[in-house]
Structure 1
Amino acid sequence: MDCSKTAIVCASISGIRVADIINNHMHANVYVPCRLKYPGDFHCYDDIKKEIKSIFNNYDCIIMVMALGAAIRIIAPFLRSKFNDPRIISVDDNGKFSISMISGHRGANDLALYVSGLLGGEAVITTASEISGVMSPEVIAYKYGMKIMNKSRIKYVTSEIINNGGFRLINRTGIHINISGSGGKNYGIIITYIKEKSTNFVVMVPKVLVIGIGFSTYANFNSLKDHIKFVFKQKGFYISSVYAIATIDIKSDNDDIKKLQNGLMPEFSSLIIIH
């Protein structure tokens, strides 16, 4: 559950009291109606429909302490994709039910479970694969930090889980994937760092490769980037499979190697210095 930036949106005094309990553990930004004039360190809003756009675009997780129907109407205009929308749950004013609403497979289900534990209430999870007891492709990718390369195939694997109780699993890497319920008939998941096309499988790419780089003083960012892409294309590797770049300590302050690490090639996670 990645909730580094969390917002709690309340609509009533009882909702604020629920938010206080949650906030004691999550250190969120709490939004309350200005008309309530409730004392405390809160963000005050006059019209939540005007405020929600900024909240939606700037937080990883959003907890709507209000009726589910009201929460749906407020966030509906801003929904775009289950792969990019924030994790959103709805909690009633008494804290009895914590309902996973949006991006359940990417952490909202876990958020609902966590919040219900804080409040002594009950989590409401409705995603089909969780009900069947088998992790969905999105959950597997989220849990193990893998990138899904052909998202259009997810619905077929999900259908396989619902109808046949599992899915086929092919793991072409050395990483251990602890998945129960595998063994479906037609559709499944391939875990690999080597490019391949598949009609019946969701292709997932874990970060398992380290690029070792030695280069002259005259090399620059563009030449480094182009050479890496050339080698990966030649070998058929996914650039998304790169875990880190490694180089010797004398190159650790090189600006171009830092560019590769720090955002111009965002697939790279870290820089390893070899002494």
Structure 2
Amino acid sequence: MKRTAVYALTTQGGRLGRRIAEKMDGDLFLPRELAKAHGGEPFDRILDLLEKTFAGYRSHVFVTAVGIAVRAIAPHIRSKIQDPAVVALDHRGKYVVSVLSGHLGGANQLAREVAAITGGSPVVTTATDTEGVVSVDLLAVQEGFSIDNHSAIKAVNKAILNGEPVQVYDPESRLGGDWSGIEWSSVAEEGDWDPSRPCVWVTWKIANPSSKRLVLHPPVLVVGVGCNRRTEAKEILNLVESTFFAHALSLSSLLCIATIEEKQGEEGIIESASHLNVPLFFFEASRLRTVEVPNPSVTVKKHMGVYSVCEAAALLKAGAKTILVPKTRSRNATLAVALQC
């Protein structure tokens, strides 16, 4: 997916749009007659253009009236989870309005970035921003957490805005950010929370969400993988999914996959990482040999020159001393899970 699309309808707007597109490394779209004279991608009708571009860019900048932007994007809006960031500004760049996906999509931040380019002022209307308090969904995005149940965001943010206490279950202190000005109470044990009050629940385990319990999954689980040559991705993925399910681990907390460098050309591992949308790391055998593992294997040593691939790779990448899930195997693959320190 491309980063930024910039749209303008007038000559003056086109000049400003070009400056924004150049600064943000974006694509500029102009009416056909303006595109001929000033460059940019030509279009005939902006409504037709948005059918092609809306889902293809992470952010959209309209150098137009807000109403034009709203009418152009209206048929394509789905949900705050899926929609890209949209901002609109006047052709002088004086006011940059956050139009769609202020928090999760990043439109509020986009408005600030565009305003910095134009010398104008960002206009942000989301309640938590106007009140100067943190939004829990924005905090989750900033920390790289996955939100399990977006429906609970409203209850938590409402409590924050009203100055009501918010329960926080975060036993490993994974949730950073600025909580100043928020009344919150720590939940020490899983069974201690009050289901009648809003709660932010930070965990790498599978959790049952509710309308008032917002479940956030931090990316902290490292999967180490070893396999025979030409092992199919399907087998590796099945092993990952079944192992996570058996140990009540959330796939939303998967940080990455790690293995030995000899597997750099192993398509099954590469495809698995791509399917799970996580990075893939390779370690030299000499580094894996330095890691103490609970299940060393003479067979693995014979073929790979190390006593462990999956456990050693998981521990090394996670920076951990103890394994969370020891070596588990399928017919052609092995897997271990470590918790990032």
TM (norm. structure 2) is 0.74
One-letter amino acid of the structure 1 residue matched with residue 201 of structure 2: I
Alignment match, 1:252: 264
Alignment match, 1:74: 72
Alignment match, 2:38: 40
Contact 1:30-1:42 within 8 A present in 2 as well: yes
| Counterparts of residues 141-180 of structure 1 (less than 5 Å) | 141-164=140-163, 167-173=166-172, 175=174, 177-180=176-179
One-letter amino acid of the structure 1 residue matched with residue 161 of structure 2: I
Return the alpha-carbon distance in structure 2 between the equivalents of residues 44 and 217 of structure 1: 49
Give, in angstroms, the shift of residue 142 of structure 1: 1.4
One-letter amino acid of the structure 2 residue matched with residue 261 of structure 1: A
Name the Cα RMSD after superposition.
Answer: 2.1
Return the alpha-carbon distance in structure 1 between the equivalents of residues 36 and 157 of structure 2: 45
Asked which structure has the greater CA Rg, the reply is: 2
Gaps of 5+ in 1: none
Indicate the SS of the match to 1:214: strand
Return the alpha-carbon distance in structure 2 between the equivalents of residues 182 and 270 of structure 1: 38
- Structure 1 consecutive aligned stretches of length 4 or more whose deviation exceeds 6 Å: none
4, 7, 11: which one aligns with 2:5? 7
| Counterparts of residues 167-206 of structure 1 (less than 5 Å) | 167-173=166-172, 175=174, 177-180=176-179, 181-184=181-184, 186-199=197-210, 200-206=212-218
Bigger mean CA deviation after superposition, 146-155 or 30-39: 30-39
One-letter amino acid of the structure 2 residue matched with residue 172 of structure 1: P
Alignment match, 2:332: none
Distance 1:274 1:189, change over 3 A: farther
Distance 1:37 1:225, change over 3 A: closer
Alignment match, 1:207: 219
Alignment match, 2:132: 133
Bigger mean CA deviation after superposition, 58-67 or 15-24: 15-24
Contact 1:160-1:166 within 8 A present in 2 as well: yes
One-letter amino acid of the structure 1 residue matched with residue 15 of structure 2: R
Alignment match, 1:59: 57
Bigger mean CA deviation after superposition, 161-170 or 201-210: 161-170
One-letter amino acid of the structure 2 residue matched with residue 208 of structure 1: V
Return the alpha-carbon distance in structure 2 between the equivalents of residues 176 and 202 of structure 1: 13
Contact 2:163-2:182 within 8 A present in 1 as well: no
One-letter amino acid of the structure 1 residue matched with residue 65 of structure 2: A
Contact 1:246-1:274 within 8 A present in 2 as well: no
Give, in angstroms, the shift of residue 216 of structure 1: 3.8
18, 32, 37: which one aligns with 1:20? 18
Give, in angstroms, the shift of residue 95 of structure 1: 0.8
Distance 1:248 1:15, change over 3 A: same
Gaps of 5+ in 2: 186-196, 286-341
One-letter amino acid of the structure 2 residue matched with residue 273 of structure 1: F
TM (norm. structure 1) is 0.90
Residue by residue over 1:205-256, the C-alpha shift from the partner in whole angstroms, topping out at 9 and shown as x without a partner, is 1110111223344753233222222221121100121111122223332221
Return the alpha-carbon distance in structure 2 between the equivalents of residues 274 and 213 of structure 1: 14
Contact 1:169-1:183 within 8 A present in 2 as well: no
283, 290, 293: which one aligns with 1:273? 283
Indicate the SS of the match to 1:213: strand
Contact 1:169-1:182 within 8 A present in 2 as well: no
Contact 1:61-1:87 within 8 A present in 2 as well: yes
